[in-house]
Amino acid sequence: MSKFHFTLYNRSYCHLCDDMRQALLALQAPDESAAGWFTVELVDVDADPELVARYDELVPVLVGSRDGQPPVQLCHYFLDAEAVKGFLGDDG
């Protein structure tokens, strides 16, 4: 089974960031048996000038990675549930 990890680039004062985080976490554990099948890391873009330069106007930004493969930017502003589900279901 592949290990999935998501990085959510966000800001502490961003309601869209909170919304995306909640929507992502809702996908993580639809029932007790599925809990923890992917991890989520929150990264505050304002803590790093390079991240501000890269993501400033796009926040929140969701990036996914799997088993050490290069990360993939999946969506920004709002959770694209279909893109996330496709990423999680991709056996490539």
- Mean pLDDT, residues 55-81 taken together: 95
pLDDT range class, residue 92, cuts 50, 70, 90 = very low
SS3 per-residue string spanning the chain: CCCEEEEEEECCCCHHHHHHHHHHHHHHCCCHHHCCCEEEEEEEHHHCHHHHHHHHHHCCEEEEEECCCCCEEEEECCCCHHHHHHHHHCCC
Q: Work out the mean pLDDT of the chain and round it to a whole number.
A: 88
Domain 4-89 belongs to what architecture? Answer: 3-Layer(aba) Sandwich (3.40)
